[in-house]
């Protein structure tokens, strides 16, 4: 829900019943830069082609950012991710 307020954010793969892996990109920002900035806020994500180069080619991107959530993640941690991503966007764009 909170991600919808981040301009330029593209979520790749919004299938119903999909797992808790969020693959995304920010228009004009390289995924590695996003990952480094989120790390400064204590949020760990992955960036790159995730051993899925054919999928990246299909999506028309060279890389994506990926956040993985699990049952033990709290609402506070999810909110921290969204807040850090919004801050990173402001810094990068």
pLDDT digits (tens, 9 = 90+) for 16-47: 877 889 999 999 999 999 999 999 999 999 99
In our burial notation (b when 16+ CB lie closer than 10 A, e otherwise), range 41-79 reads eebebebbebeeeeebeeeeeebbbbbeeeeeeeeeebe
pLDDT of residue 19: 81
Tell me whether strands 9-12 and 46-48 are parallel, antiparallel or unpaired.
Answer: unpaired
pLDDT digits (tens, 9 = 90+) for 36-77: 999 999 999 999 999 898 989 998 999 999 999 999 999 999
Residue 2's pLDDT band (cuts 50, 70, 90): confident
pLDDT of residue 15: 77
Residues tagged active-site: 51
pLDDT above 80 for 1: no
pLDDT of residue 36: 97
pLDDT above 90 for 14: no
Q: Is 3.90.1150.10 the CATH classification of the domain at 2-92?
A: yes
């Amino acid at each position: 829900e909170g991600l919808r307020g981040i301009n330029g954010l593209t979520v790749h793969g919004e299938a119903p019943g999909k797992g808790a892996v969020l693959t995304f990109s920010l228009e004009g920002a390289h995924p590695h830069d996003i990952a480094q900035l989120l790390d400064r806020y204590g949020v760990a994500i992955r960036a790159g082609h995730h051993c899925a180069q054919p999928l990246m080619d299909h999506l028309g991107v060279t890389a994506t950012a990926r956040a993985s959530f699990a049952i033990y993640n709290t609402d506070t941690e999810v909110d921290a991710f969204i807040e850090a991503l919004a801050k990173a966007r402001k810094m990068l764009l």
